[in-house]
Chains A and B, each alone.
Chain A
Amino acid sequence: GAGVSQSPSNKVTEKGKDVELRCDPISGHTALYWYRQRLGQGLEFLIYFQGNSAPDKSGLPSDRFSAERTGESVSTLTIQRTQQEDSAVYLCASSLYRDRARYGYTFGSGTRLTVV
């Protein structure tokens, strides 16, 4: 596809359940990011993948959060034992460029997660 694809677009889950969010980046984009956007708050960095390097997990808020990426393609973000404070829009982004401050990322439309 032409853009970053995320699925599902919406997810409602019960507190305590596990959820898995999927991101298909643009083909050829070596860098992939996950950000979280809570209502009324800015985007929060979660995790960053670059090629075959070890991911930068410094933004993951707790050990309930984990993410994987297969090579330079699909990534999944898993949240275990979901809590109500996990309710947010989870945004995936990818980038072709090294100079990502200047050229930016391409974001997907996000997965809106609601924990009830």
Chain B
Amino acid sequence: QKEVEQDPGPLSVPEGAIVSLNCTYSNSAFQYFMWYRQYSRKGPELLMYTYSSGNKEDGRFTAQVDKSSKYISLFIRDSQPSDSATYLCAMSFSWRGNKLVFGAGTILRVKS
């Protein structure tokens, strides 16, 4: 069993839709949770960061962490074609974030 499970998609939605991306994990010692966005042929870039359980909102993006269920989500409101990318969840035991454990990534396509 992988430490972090993420549905690879692809997920195809119309412009303006609400998108829900999810990861599950097996190790309860993870404390720090991140979402990275990766455009084709580019390196990932940090999108959202959350410590422990709870919600965090940044513009059209909301990250949720439920440690009791070992489940994290990223919601994108009013999705745009420019949101089309691969979204990778990542987790760390430490705030230093030296050895991130990544999900496989979900490919998102937003159609105009």
Residues on A facing B (Cβ under 8 Å) = 4, 31, 33, 35, 40-45, 48, 50, 56, 58-59, 91, 93, 98-110
Residue of B nearest to A31 (CB): B98
Nearest Cβ in chain B — how far from A3, in angstroms?
A: 9
- CB contacts (< 8 Å) of A108 on chain B: these are 43
Q: Chain A residues near B104: list those with CB within 8 A.
A: 40-42
Q: Which residue in chain B gives the minimum CB-CB distance to A43?
A: B102
Interface size of B as a range: 20 to 34
* Shortest beta-carbon distance from B63 to chain A in Å: 13
Determine if B100 and A45 form an interchain contact, defined as CB atoms under 8 angstroms apart: yes
B88 touches A42 (CB 8 A): yes
Q: Which residues of B contact A56 (CB under 8 A)?
A: 98-99
Residue of A nearest to B49 (CB): A102
What's the dominant secondary structure at chain A's contact region? mixed
Q: Indicate if the CB atoms of A100 and B105 lie closer than 8 Å.
A: no
Of A50, A99, A100, A110, most B-chain CB atoms within 10 Å: A100
Q: Smallest CB-CB separation from A48: which chain B residue?
A: B98
Minimum CB–CB distance from B43 to chain A (whole Å) comes to 3
Which 10 A-B pairs rank lowest in CB-CB distance, beginning with the nearest?
Answer: A107-B43, A104-B46, A101-B97, A42-B102, A100-B97, A101-B32, A43-B102, A45-B99, A101-B92, A42-B104
What B residues does A99 contact at CB under 8 A? 95-97
Q: How far is the CB of A29 from chain B (nearest CB, A)?
A: 14
**Contact present for A91 and B99 (CB under 8 Å):** no
Which of B94, B95, B96 has the most chain A CB atoms closer than 10 A to its own CB? Answer: B96
Report chain B residues within 8 Å CB of A110: 41, 43
